[in-house]
Amino acid sequence: MNLKLIKGMRIVAATHNPGKVPEIAALLGQDYEILTAGQLALPEPEETETTFGGNAMLKARHAARLSGEVALADDSGLSVAALDGAPGVYSARWAGPSKDFALAIRKVETRLEERGDPDRRAWFTSALAVAWPDGPCLVVEGVVEGALTFPPRGDRGFGYDPIFIPDGGTQTFGEMEPAEKDAISHRARAFAKLRAALID
Ligand code: IMP
């Protein structure tokens, strides 16, 4: 069995967000025909796992099984040391149904104050899974470590970017040029591992 991504191959991105296609094409290289689970009207599975890798694998396997094509899925989030790794796999869910990240950020700050722990270390994780319809699945993870700062700074980026300063830097991800973030991000690191494993 050939567990490599071959040029021209169709890959189903297990997402309903068409905005992710250019991002995936840029990170993977332009040589693939990328379809989304949304375009194929595949139902979204519930993210029932407790690890980023587990959820990425669950989504990739689900899309591969239903589409009969190789499928790629990601799962990512912010982990805070003093909160025992929360919000972790619940990073998106902390923003509520209206995806309000100002609310999610306030929740992180409040929980930290309640703990009374001065430790502000945190890290972003991106897990990527590639599943073949006949069973095999590869999972890789990229991590970027840093520290949280309050109040939030910067209006670039998304999600928890305005409170995260990567190690060695002074700006938050929300203040950085997108290219600067892309050079060191958890997602870029995960894609680099994926390319090394699956592309000749
Ligand atoms: P997912 O779609 O289940 O992977 O949810 C990931 C969530 O983690 C997003 O909604 C963001 O809140 C957060 N997250 C992941 N990566 C980043 C990032 O690079 N910057 C800021 N927030 C992120």
Q: Which pair of structure tokens corresponds to residue 161?
A: 């970017």
* Ligand 1 pocket, residue 191 CB under 6 Å: no
For residue 78, CA distances in Å to 8, 34, 105 come to: 34, 27, 11
To 5 degrees, how large is the angle CA 148–CA 153–CA 159? 70
Secondary element (H or E) of residue 56: helix 52-67
Domains, the chain, in order of start with CATH, read 10-198 (3.90.950.10)
Whether 75 is catalytic: yes
Query: pLDDT tens for residues 76-95?
Result: 999 999 999 999 999 999 99
Query: Which of 158, 171, 189 has most ligand 1 atoms within 8 Å of its beta carbon, as the pocket-test mutant?
Result: 158
Claim: this prediction has a pTM higher than 0.85 = yes
Chain segment 62-74, per-residue pLDDT in tens:
999 999 999 999 9
Q: Residue with the nearest Cα to atom 12 of ligand 1?
A: 159
User: Nearest to residue 150, comparing CAs of 124, 122, 178, 176?
Assistant: 122
Marked catalytic residue, from 31, 74, 75, 155:
75
pLDDT tops 80 at residue 104: yes
